[in-house]
Each structure stands twice: as C-alpha cells, then as structure tokens.
Amino acid sequence: MLYWLIIVPILIAVVNIGFFHSDSRKLILFSQLGVTLYASYLFYLVRTEGTVVDNMAGYPRNFAITLYADSISMVLVWLTTLLFLGLLIFAYSGDYFDSQFGFLYLTLQSLIIGLFLSTDLFNIYVLLEVSTVVVAILIMLRKDRQSVYDGMIYLFVSVISSGFWLFGVGFLYRTFGHLDMHAIAEVITEVEDPRSLILPFAFILTTISLKIALFPLSSWLPIAYGTPSAPPVIPAILSGVYETTGLYLFIRLTAMFSEVVELNAFFLIIGFITSIVGFVLAVAQDDLRLLLAYSTISQVGLITVGLSLGTDAGFWGSMYHMFAHALFKTVLFLSVGVLSHHYGTRNIYKIRGVMKALPVTGIAMTLGLLGITGAPLFNGSISKYMITYGSDNFAVQLLLNLINLGTLLYSIKFASMLFGKNTQPDELKDTNALHDVPQWTTLTFGLLTLVSGLFGTTFLEFLYGYSFDIQPMEYLEKSLIYLLLMLAAFALYRAWVRGRDLFAKIGYLQLSFNAMITAQVVFFLSIIGYMYLLT
C-alpha cells in the first residue's frame, strides 16, 4: 500500500505533461488533496498499529524492493504531502505554473517520498541522483544565464558527491551481499574486522554531509537557494522538505553503523561549526533569499548537534526541530516571494513598511521569525528546550546560547523590513493585496508555527509517540535567557550590523567549484582519520 504514495504523483505528472499542454492546475491540486488524505490515513495506521513494511512481489526483504514506514519516516512523508499541498496553493496563480512546472513538482514529491520510505541503499542512490536532476531543472526553470549557472553548479557538485555514495554501497555489497539498511544493521556486529567498514561509512557519510550542507560542504546551498529567477516555492521546498531527506538519511545511516562505529563527538563539533558559520554569513547578507539560505545551514548545524548529543531529549528535540524548521522556514521563504513581488526587489535595505503595506504577510513574517528564534510559546522554543535539556555540559550550553544569539541577530535584521516608511514603487502598489491567496497561505503556515508551539508536547506525542514533560521553572528560565539574548542581539545589531560594512565583506565569501570538490575530499579524509583513531 505504501507504493501508491510514490506511484500516484508520478502518474499524475505523466498525465499532466502528456495530455495537458495548457492548464492542468486543477488536476494537480485534486491529486495532491488525494495523496495528502491517503498519507494521513497511513500515518494513522502506523501510529495505531505500528510499522508498515511493503516487500514488492512478496520476495524476502533482502531481495525485494522494500518500503518501510515507521514512526519517523511516516511523519516526514505526511509532512511532505502537507507542505507540497500548501505550496501548490501558494503557486496556483503564479505565471510559472505550467505543465512543465507541474511535472517537475509532482516528480520531486514522488522522489522525496521514495527517499523517506526506501531501505535499499542502491535504490536510495538512484532516487538521490534523479531528484538532483529534477531540482537542478527547477532551479534553471527560467533559463536565464544566472539560473543556468546556479543549476549546473548544484548538479555537478551533487553528482560528484553521489559518486562517494556509490563507492560506499559497492564496498557494503561486497561485505554483506545485500543492501537493505535494516538487514545490514542486524548483522553488522558479526563483521570480524570493524575497520573494514570505515571506508564505506566514510564514503556514504561524505555524500550525506554534503546533502545536509554541513561545514565545509555547504557552499552549494546558497547558490541553489538564492537563484534570483527561481519561483518562490522552489527554495521553500528545498529548505522545508528536501533538506529533511538528507537529515533523515543521516539518522538512518549513523544508526546502522552505530554498533561498530560511533561518530557523535565528531558531528557534535561539525554541527556547532556549521551553525556558527551559518549565522555569521546570514547576518552578512542583504539578499533575503541568501540570508535564509545561510540560516538553513545554521539550523541544520543545530539539528546535527541535537542528534549527536547521544540523549533521548536531544534526539527527539532535533526531530521536532526538523518539523518546526519545515514550517517556519516555509513561512519565511514564501514571505520573501510575496515581498519580491510587491516591492520588486529582494534587497533587505530597500524594503520597509511591510506591516502597513502588507499586514497579512507582516504578521506571517513575525510568526515565522518568532518560531525560528525559539520565542516562548512557539514551536522553536519546544525543540530548542529539548536540545538544551539533552546536555548538562557547560560548553555545550554556552555554544547553544551563542547559536540562538546569532539566530536572533539575523532575525532582527530580517524584521527591520516590518516598519518604517513604505518603500513600494507606485507602479507595484496593489490595493487588493489583502485578497492575495499566497499571503493567506503564508499566514496559515505562520499560525501553525504558533499552534505547534502552544501544544508542543501534544504535537510531539501525536507525531512520534514520545512523551516529554517540560518543567515550568526551567522553561521560564529559558524564556528569561531568550529575552536577555534578544536584548543583546538588538544591541549588537544597532552597534555592529546596521549601516556598517563589517559583515558585508564576509557575505561575499564563497568557495569556487574546485574548492567545493576539494572540501569533499578533505571531509572524507577527516572522517577516515577520525574513525581510525577511534578503532
């Protein structure tokens, strides 16, 4: 029954491109409603009856194409269908929504769902490769020079990275004779020499680390997300959904190897470095999409930290932060799409008076920013509280507060657009702006960031079946720390960020294509060296 989640979007995509050469929006919209309802049913089934496994054609797991839905993967599949439906409603009236866009959109959804449900490492490789091509085409959709350049850089870097995965898969097949992740995990401790697994693990982790944009493998992300002509739903999909596939694979693969090779300390350090570098570069941007792109890098670093703490609270805090991040980052990227349409620019210094000119988008932006900064009562506060609760180490606590200070700093810069004199060009002012469907769609996602914070523990148990009790006094303490960090960030913004070119020079730092490939090799060798030291 799981395969219908993958097949239906592909079938509708083929029908769309083959038979509808003009307007197929209604077909796509109704198909998305159906897929979302079916995913909701399967989510309920997994929550009530446990893991659902589909072995195609009835073959044994080691030989069949297996789809596997548990309390983690099914949540992400359900979230994917909900976000794709919401983003489709946002894009419904866009001039870029044609049969080609619809085909690529549905195909990407099918591939993402396949990545969440597949357990065969070679099948995952194929899904990664095809999804890379689809994303590259979506980036290049407008066919202008800059978008083609950005799409090709993303494509070449990703394809070279996928080669690392293929080498790793080859070594694992030679060792185990099959490639099912769960089957390998059951027998991995029987390997006589654990060092024989270092090379394939390093190959595979290098690919995953690039997919989730860990430092120093993150330079491709702002290029892909920041393409000027790409439709606004594309970076929202990449940040809110596609990035999550890499994090999911990171969780699955590190769990598979954890019995013989444990890398929590390594990725804890990499996570902190990634998050700090991400927020520093985010503060340095004046292009709204680039600011949010580097923000995504920072948030991925934070999630990696939580996953690497080695505690239940840290792990499930990161899982909930993945859910929260998908919501508030979708809000912010869609807000940028609305602002660029109504102001004719994405330069943060040329947009002012949003709350007065576009109050619906202004409120949505505010909700998204409160979510990403972890403001009390918002979803980010629940996930960040759990990650913080996952360690009592003073250095870890200090670095987590530093990350939140950086998040507040670029969020204040982002929020500076809300007030001041309206800078909309006269020819772009729209008296019917309040009736824009994209704005209300953005606000809906914004309200979800609040609701999933007000009822955070309930959402956590509903989604993952994990119960976590928040201590009122500790939560109050974290809220007071948040307020102090907010004041400190505001002071730093006024003193060092606003109107100064100190960070502007940093914002132009970016690796060349050759440097990106070199970084992959260095990262790969670093993992190998670290694992050899451990074993």
Query: What local confidence, expressed as pLDDT, does residue 502 receive?
Result: 58
The 10s digit of each residue's pLDDT in 387-420 is 999 888 899 999 999 999 999 999 999 999 999 8
| β-strand pairing of 52-55 with 66-69 | antiparallel
CA distances from 224 to 96, 215, 269, 498, 533 (A): 18, 16, 26, 27, 36
Mean pLDDT along residues 198-215: 93
Quick one: pLDDT at residue 505?
64
pLDDT at 1: 79
242-246: long-range contacts (C-beta < 8 A, 24 or more apart)?
Answer: 242/108, 242/112, 242/131, 242/135, 243/211, 243/212, 243/213, 243/296, 243/300, 244/76, 244/79, 244/80, 244/322, 244/326, 245/112, 245/115, 245/116, 245/131, 245/211, 246/208, 246/211, 246/212, 246/213
- Report whether the peptide linkage leading into residue 216 is cis, meaning its omega lies within 30 degrees of zero: yes
Do 163 and 521 touch, CB atoms closer than 8 A? no
Give SS3 for 52: strand
DSSP 8-state symbol, 350: G
pLDDT at res. 401: 94
Rounded (10°) angle between helices 243-257 and 312-343: 160
Q: Per-residue pLDDT averaged across 99-119, rounded? A: 91
pLDDT class of 427 with cuts at 50, 70, 90: low
Task: Work out the percent of the chain whose per-residue pLDDT is above 90.
Answer: 55
First to last CA, the chain: 43
At 512, the pLDDT band (50, 70, 90 cuts) reads confident
Q: Any idea which of 38-52, 177-191, 204-218, 442-456 has the lowest mean pLDDT?
A: 177-191
**CA pair distance 449, 368, nearest whole angstrom:** 7
